[in-house]
Structure 1
């Protein structure tokens, strides 16, 4: 196994951000445990400490709700450097959590950690994986019941924060219908840690908190939230990650699951892949989201358009079109794949999910490219990502036009991505 130039620094960041079995994304800006961050971090830990990788996932499911949802934040310990905190969410869970979720990378991470455990001969791997497998299965059941009640084969987000791509241009029209009025006093903390030009605008935050108020008033009941939601988008990124994670649970079920669980997962996987396949648009050479309230495709180009490659094996025409489109997005960029392409009117190379490059998004896209036989393109994207991290540091995200590091620094999932992607290049 090759040693990466900055591997010691990457490990030091994970150690610095360790809070006792769980990892914060970065100090102060994000002082709690985040759902999909921890899944990627667990895969990073698996490179050198499998037992700690398991612990990351185990601490995350301490926050799992009785209905199966894994929240997007688990507030293990108090902090006053982040808004909205547990008082705003008011979820009344046995462990303080937020009331919404995030991309379900958990199942992907569990397979990754389990395979690392087997390769290293880690004791107790089957037992630890089995407990987490059951948690993942409960989570996937929640997704399909709570977020695809109409059986579309597409799971929906009810808040932009759930997508992980908070202020993506994909949400602009749907979010514009959400009122800016709130019953919660907004006390933004993020712009005290990071320049406001890199963060969502105040108006975005007013709409984000309006949604939190709405769902808190529903008592966080999934059926009531679904009925009341002023923002409801069937998201191809979320659906693709769930489909891929389901495939990874199917793999684990071969040795750790029952016949009934294998059959249930197979049905889930078929439903999600069928729904996802229907979102391909040949005229755009990519996949598109669906605004369920407006009943229209969301054609704004964002990184979500390529995440379905992680779950679907495209036919030759689709594969050629998708890879050519990714090449178009990479043209002229120092590092790609940008979260919004430079040819889009919405492109802002420094503002959060409106242009910057995220190492973990590239990780997913490259996994999808490999699944679809585009090894050379995957390796090229990984090389530029690793180079950007080595040049700019373990930043939250990067300006695609310059490679400049942006957002928070000493970022856990960027350190994890560096260790995993660096071994592939």
Structure 2
């Protein structure tokens, strides 16, 4: 890690803990007040990772609350609407999931799509932080995680790679990866709406109105089909094999296999999923960009996007050195690793959401994956940049990769969590002390 000796690490650690507690709504956290007033799927899993550094019971309750919204078919929604907030759009009514296919007996209001399935991996990290406190809770959670992954394989992995049915499902809402597929949507018939996000954040940091019209069109499309996975798969113009979903699913499935061993359950089905996901992940390799890339299943075209999602391959467990030269090139063009899109790319925008900015959670996965693959120098660069970025520019939602300008929401839960669990020098000391 780059030198942090002139920073007040104890004060930064304390601020990160304060942010987690500030955003704690009693059993679940919101990403940040105002902009995101509900419980988000992968945000929540990262929040648990942060809580595990100082409150192991609260960490488990975060994950358990997330799975209280699991549908009967195994899907874990990307938003759980615990307490309605009139200041957020699209609301629960817009999603229309009350009679959704697969929801079954679940009564907690939610959206109709999921998000990158990091829950098993981060639950495994929470368990490892304190095995004695987590054994019973992991055993209780395991069947729910298994059902979630079975849903992923049945509903989203027809090519081996994991697909998304909406850009929000990838967590990378307006990434250039979806531009072709989004252009194929005619948003005619979108009901009038008022965006709330641009009331909290500068519009130049958010997706455009053209993007948002198509997001809402896809929500209406799914709602009209009662979120029936098979009908959506057959009829939707938007179906994209996504590196984020694929590599996080692959990693989480590997961790699920470790859980199966721990709880004494047969892992034959899980091992089959791992093999299938590995094959699908390798199919995302784009020889032209020399990186892993999204594929529009409706056209067969690759996105041609060099993104931080492609660099999750090592987090997923692939030991592939072919992408290292491109990663080094991207880092050479960046002050802070890892931009969400190559600064040399034609769609690069240093402040607009997933078209350039750096996200601490993606860095956590990229950096840890590189370290596990033996790429110590690159891993140290990613970790050191993350630490400097947060120490110098605060706990923002995301950051400009060229100068570190903080962007999006402030006092952000998952940025604070990543600091506590990984980026902070005190986290490094903890990890080194337990190796």
TM-score, normalised relative to structure 2 = 0.92
| 1:20 pairs with one of 4, 18, 26 | 26
Partner residue, 2:380: 379
Partner residue, 2:292: 287
Matched, 1:424 2:407: no
Q: Distance in 2 between matches of 1:289 and 1:374?
A: 24
Q: Report the alpha carbon displacement of residue 5 of structure 1 after superposing the two structures with TM.
A: 4.3
Partner residue, 2:135: 126
Contact between 2:241 and 2:294, CA under 8 Å: does it hold in 1? Answer: yes
Q: Distance in 1 between matches of 2:207 and 2:145?
A: 31
Q: Report the alpha carbon displacement of residue 278 of structure 1 after superposing the two structures with TM.
A: 2.5
Contact between 2:286 and 2:302, CA under 8 Å: does it hold in 1? Answer: no
Q: Distance in 1 between matches of 2:94 and 2:259?
A: 38
Q: Distance in 1 between matches of 2:80 and 2:300?
A: 33
Partner residue, 1:115: 128
- Measured at CA, do residues 156 and 332 of structure 1 come closer, stay the same or move farther in structure 2, by a change above 3 Å? closer
Moved over 4 A (4+): 2-5
Matched, 1:86 2:99: no
- Measured at CA, do residues 185 and 257 of structure 1 come closer, stay the same or move farther in structure 2, by a change above 3 Å? farther
Aligned pairs (5 A) from 1:387-406: 387-406=388-407
Matched, 1:162 2:169: yes
Q: Report the alpha carbon displacement of residue 3 of structure 1 after superposing the two structures with TM.
A: 6.0
Q: Report the alpha carbon displacement of residue 288 of structure 1 after superposing the two structures with TM.
A: 1.6
CA RMSD of superposed structures (Å): 1.4
Q: Distance in 2 between matches of 1:357 and 1:344?
A: 15
Aligned with 2:295: secondary structure? strand
| 1:76 pairs with one of 79, 82, 87 | 82
Contact between 1:303 and 1:339, CA under 8 Å: does it hold in 2? Answer: yes
Q: Distance in 2 between matches of 1:142 and 1:397?
A: 30
For residues 243-266 of structure 1, give each alpha carbon's deviation from its aligned partner in whole angstroms, at most 9, with x where no partner exists: 10000011111111422xx11111
Aligned pairs (5 A) from 1:4-403: 4-92=10-98, 93-118=106-131, 121-122=132-133, 125-148=134-157, 150=158, 152-259=159-266, 262-314=267-319, 318-319=320-321, 321-403=322-404
Aligned pairs (5 A) from 1:405-420: 405-420=406-421
Contact between 1:182 and 1:209, CA under 8 Å: does it hold in 2? Answer: no
Contact between 1:105 and 1:241, CA under 8 Å: does it hold in 2? Answer: yes
Aligned with 1:373: secondary structure? coil
Contact between 1:279 and 1:288, CA under 8 Å: does it hold in 2? Answer: yes
Q: Distance in 1 between matches of 2:114 and 2:10?
A: 33
Q: Which runs of 5+ in 2 are unaligned?
A: 1-7, 99-105, 430-435
For residues 127-185 of structure 1, give each alpha carbon's deviation from its aligned partner in whole angstroms, at most 9, with x where no partner exists: 2111211111100000111112x3x2111101000000000011111101111224432
Contact between 2:397 and 2:406, CA under 8 Å: does it hold in 1? Answer: yes
Q: Which runs of 5+ in 1 are unaligned?
A: none
How many residue pairs align between the two structures? 412
Q: Report the alpha carbon displacement of residue 381 of structure 1 after superposing the two structures with TM.
A: 1.1
Contact between 1:32 and 1:73, CA under 8 Å: does it hold in 2? Answer: yes
Aligned with 2:309: secondary structure? helix
Contact between 1:214 and 1:228, CA under 8 Å: does it hold in 2? Answer: no
Q: Distance in 2 between matches of 1:257 and 1:229?
A: 40
TM-score, normalised relative to structure 1 = 0.94
Q: Report the alpha carbon displacement of residue 394 of structure 1 after superposing the two structures with TM.
A: 0.4
